[in-house]
Structure 1
């Protein structure tokens, strides 16, 4: 059956903006909230947030303010559900205990840094987000209408065909917001949305957020020290100092509040600057205690002017019609399968991620053109250095060195490329996964599928050039064995690069990666042959995939070889068996070596996936 068309005759979504949908609005409240962090081994803990309370009503733009270290970002992380570890207290949504699975369906979190795909255009980013975040019953015409309306509202329609990397700071910030508006979340969290923007872009950004809030959403953002103009744009302000609440209420009531406490704001002075001075303790710590007691650490709501709250009369996307029990029930939710947690099926997620990955591969010189170019360049250089030695008995050790060089090229280049590139993907993955774009499983499957064609093409080109230039035996079976082992080594090195890139940043990864390769080389049988390795270190030879790769390449080239041609009168290694004995390389273990490499590949790929899960979840709960 054809999906229902939710558009009118001119392609505009029916009911994209629906009035008086107050049942969909989100009221957030927290009481006696603590957030405790560890200071390190045997160093105890520290309370970042100390028994604070607060209330954020719908249709308001809320600013969480305070000096550096006051706990602004920590509070945002806790109430958004991004951080769960070390949290105590009660958080309610529409007067019922917050249930994370349900809460994340109506909320989004936009981090301080712009976590965007730089190689995609604005339109492509929006299209992929729409395909991932809107349910399957929405037609392409409907999705396109939603995208165009959002881009028009946010002033990005002129940038639709511009790559994200070429956008200005303000445009990137607006695009970050636009991507999350696709499924019209009713509560939005933004960490320092004005960071890195000039005054004009700051004003545009806050004006936009104010507009979105007055359409019925609850928008909460942290901001360090706004100008007087920006300060007045916020409906409500929540001021923190040393993890405690100094003020909660409307921005217009800040000056009267301070006057009541005999802390008058100087004439022509920015109230935001003055209250930050108080929060820093510049006017004495007793003033901080006085404000905390007056506001009851956030429990007092007397300074919130209820009469000035905007009336929510605008946009709630028809897509996000939320039944009352979806966000107000206090009952424990049933456990859902992972695909139920997202708006679209696993198949659709995989299809969208593959589509995005193909675009990135076509435009990314590092992931595609550089990898193929490096394989061509290195194969030509090695081929020139070891020209036509593969069939010369006098140069059998040189050929042995070449085989090891082939392995090191495949492992080293592939490993380091992933160590350098993958950490930048982690931040984007964390944001998109937390905001329910797709499941981690589908992301990892797509990542592995996208790597296979490029790896295969690069490896095949390298094998053809190096095999022909170095004069290896012209036998299709031997060439196939040589290429297969090279390909498996590339895939294993990719997995190892994922593991290192997941847990380390670029700097530390560039240190750890070569060390691991050196340790694997020690047990590969090259330099020190397997026969001479001490018995108490034999275990290393069983876990070194370089050992199995080298054994298999030697077997591919020298198994059942006849007498090798030799120009000298006496050629000791014209019998390849003598050479194989000296280097302790068996040639009857090729099948076992392939099995060992396949096991190594499966183990490293599975390990990379579970380490990725741990890393993403750890970031979401830090």
Structure 2
């Protein structure tokens, strides 16, 4: 397995020597600016217009709902870096989610792309969404993350050298070339944010949405990230960011700003026109005061709620476009003429929007999974140790129980205990580990890296070898120590049933881990396992179940596992077991003899008692 891991690592790692274009190593930069991505060309401009956007979220069961956005309007022009600003709870991230298509439930209004109504399938091909937390594979290096992303996002028609040139170009311009052999988990906050942007630049998106890219960064890193976004926008992209409260120098780097307060638009236009706008509205910005701080103070209601209403009315909730630099903003009809349907056809068939086949997705995702398993082998070692220890413990408790007819019930208990181990261990492991992968999965799937089917198959295949090895070790230990019949057919059935139970339990854990967080999943996992045990036929036999509960036996996969174990151990025309005890359960002759002896003895005692009672009465 170690050799296979080494081969996988070699196939996904990228080194500059393999590329056909050599770039000299550069000194660390204080300011990172993408001065021109030669291998990622400038894009066709994309104009975004949204009208009467509303968003309502449910607060919980029987708690009603709350409207976050109240009919906001706006225009996002190409080649501009746009900042959506506002206080906490103003609806910045919600508006970004709606515009990116990340949120679709409870949303009203319309979004237009170059004058035409947005078609979500086409829109996702030309856009990407980089969320606030940097969702990266921390065990992989920068070059490995980029190489895997290139294999998933770029056309399979490009060879590894062409993909390598794209990677090298992006890393050089984003100031990450010197860190290409550093693991993503060891990067600084600003470097992680730049890597998140670099991963999405591989397929050259026309539109980029970034949720609070400066959160958690120092002032220098904030400036680097915003300068990078500004440079990328000026190359032809439409880039939209949410920002909480930038400094004056950071605020000046944005071309346009969109201010929200309580789900309504207070202002949209260029940053330099904000101060004149406030003067015209009768709420002038004080001298030597940061306009970004002042507008946030207004949006928070520090100067009265009437000021918010005044600015919302003046901006007409985002309909006013008088504070743009452009004197003649093209209408929707003009945009449709500038971007005929033939252009859309070319965009749909471009290499950057082409989905890679599922076979390629499976191959790349399995490479990534095996590489991660190799670098973080702690969980693999723990799984092996747990299976060995539990196997020895169960084997010691039920030693020689499988070949002794007087201990049939004990062996039955052993088989159920084995099922419990195969159910709980993989299920709880998956519940505890999968939620950590959910954030990465949601980001990569939303940005069209791969399909959910490819991801599920890949994680199942990656986990299969260790599941087989640990299950085989456990089965050999328990089977031999408990003296089960040493026949190939019986052991094969025993092992197969054990492995199938493990796989079903893992799927059950994935379902819970995908639906709930770690805390709720840890509670619900064992709780939902109780009905599986109740309807497995252990304790209460299936024939004793009430008719209205019998359906539960068909749902419980432990029932099928227990019946399979019984068939593997005692079926297949197994000869009758010898019994050296006076009483052996399920041995018909002994049972009959015992019944006769007990019946005769009981009858004699009853007759004796009645005789004495009769004599005493006389």
TM-score by length of 1: 0.82
Separation in structure 1 between the aligned mates of residue 135 and residue 584 of structure 2, nearest angstrom = 62
What SS does the corresponding residue of 1:54 show, helix, strand or coil?
Answer: strand
Is residue 16 of structure 1 aligned with residue 39 of structure 2? yes
Question: Partner residue of 2:387?
Answer: 375
Separation in structure 1 between the aligned mates of residue 561 and residue 231 of structure 2, nearest angstrom = 61
> What's the CA shift for 1:120?
1.9
Separation in structure 1 between the aligned mates of residue 470 and residue 307 of structure 2, nearest angstrom = 67
Question: Partner residue of 2:29?
Answer: none
One of 494, 500, 525 as aligned partner of 2:512: 500
423-432 or 125-134: bigger deviation: 423-432
Tell me if structure 1 keeps the 8 A contact 2:20–2:161.
no
Question: Partner residue of 1:226?
Answer: 246
Separation in structure 2 between the aligned mates of residue 150 and residue 576 of structure 1, nearest angstrom = 80
Question: Partner residue of 2:598?
Answer: none
Equivalent residue runs for 1:64-83 within 5 Å? 64-83=84-103
One of 432, 436, 444 as aligned partner of 1:432: 444
What SS does the corresponding residue of 1:47 show, helix, strand or coil?
Answer: strand
CA deviation map 1:458-481 (0-9, x unaligned)? 211111111122222222121112
Is residue 485 of structure 1 aligned with residue 497 of structure 2? yes
> What's the CA shift for 1:493?
0.9
Separation in structure 2 between the aligned mates of residue 487 and residue 462 of structure 1, nearest angstrom = 11
Is residue 444 of structure 1 aligned with residue 456 of structure 2? yes
Separation in structure 2 between the aligned mates of residue 410 and residue 246 of structure 1, nearest angstrom = 59
Equivalent residue runs for 1:181-196 within 5 Å? 181-196=201-216
Separation in structure 2 between the aligned mates of residue 576 and residue 123 of structure 1, nearest angstrom = 71
Given the superposition, is the C-alpha separation of residues 137 and 504 from structure 1 closer, same or farther in structure 2, using an over 3 Å criterion? same
467-476 or 128-137: bigger deviation: 467-476
Aligned residues: 551
What SS does the corresponding residue of 1:436 show, helix, strand or coil?
Answer: coil
Separation in structure 2 between the aligned mates of residue 87 and residue 507 of structure 1, nearest angstrom = 30
Equivalent residue runs for 1:564-603 within 5 Å? 564-566=577-579, 568=581, 570-573=582-585, 575=587
Tell me if structure 2 keeps the 8 A contact 1:566–1:574.
no
Tell me if structure 1 keeps the 8 A contact 2:39–2:165.
no
Question: Partner residue of 2:225?
Answer: 205
> What's the CA shift for 1:533?
2.7
Is residue 303 of structure 1 aligned with residue 323 of structure 2? yes
Question: Partner residue of 1:262?
Answer: 282
Separation in structure 1 between the aligned mates of residue 266 and residue 115 of structure 2, nearest angstrom = 24
Is residue 467 of structure 1 aligned with residue 467 of structure 2? no
TM-score by length of 2: 0.83
CA deviation map 1:166-190 (0-9, x unaligned)? 2222222111111101011121001
One of 412, 415, 423 as aligned partner of 1:403: 415
Given the superposition, is the C-alpha separation of residues 401 and 327 from structure 1 closer, same or farther in structure 2, using an over 3 Å criterion? farther
Structure 1 runs (4+) deviating above 6 angstroms are 11-14, 576-579
Is residue 98 of structure 1 aligned with residue 93 of structure 2? no
Tell me if structure 2 keeps the 8 A contact 1:394–1:573.
yes
One of 405, 420, 423 as aligned partner of 2:435: 423
Tell me if structure 2 keeps the 8 A contact 1:342–1:437.
no
> What's the CA shift for 1:527?
1.9
139-148 or 349-358: bigger deviation: 349-358
> What's the CA shift for 1:44?
5.1
Separation in structure 2 between the aligned mates of residue 393 and residue 196 of structure 1, nearest angstrom = 67
CA deviation map 1:88-137 (0-9, x unaligned)? 22311122222222221211001111122222222111111101111122
Structure 1 segments unaligned to the other structure (5+ residues): 1-6, 310-321, 580-622
Separation in structure 1 between the aligned mates of residue 524 and residue 54 of structure 2, nearest angstrom = 37
One of 398, 413, 425 as aligned partner of 1:386: 398
> What's the CA shift for 1:231?
1.0
Is residue 122 of structure 1 aligned with residue 133 of structure 2? no
What SS does the corresponding residue of 2:70 show, helix, strand or coil?
Answer: strand
Question: Partner residue of 1:48?
Answer: 68
Given the superposition, is the C-alpha separation of residues 533 and 38 from structure 1 closer, same or farther in structure 2, using an over 3 Å criterion? closer
> What's the CA shift for 1:435?
0.8
- Asked which structure has the greater CA Rg, the reply is 2
Given the superposition, is the C-alpha separation of residues 85 and 486 from structure 1 closer, same or farther in structure 2, using an over 3 Å criterion? same
> What's the CA shift for 1:394?
3.7
> What's the CA shift for 1:43?
5.7
Given the superposition, is the C-alpha separation of residues 81 and 377 from structure 1 closer, same or farther in structure 2, using an over 3 Å criterion? same
Is residue 325 of structure 1 aligned with residue 337 of structure 2? no
One of 291, 307, 310 as aligned partner of 2:311: 291
One of 360, 373, 380 as aligned partner of 2:372: 360
Separation in structure 2 between the aligned mates of residue 267 and residue 14 of structure 1, nearest angstrom = 41
What SS does the corresponding residue of 1:390 show, helix, strand or coil?
Answer: helix
Separation in structure 1 between the aligned mates of residue 590 and residue 154 of structure 2, nearest angstrom = 67
Separation in structure 1 between the aligned mates of residue 101 and residue 256 of structure 2, nearest angstrom = 21
Question: Partner residue of 2:48?
Answer: 28
Is residue 166 of structure 1 aligned with residue 178 of structure 2? no
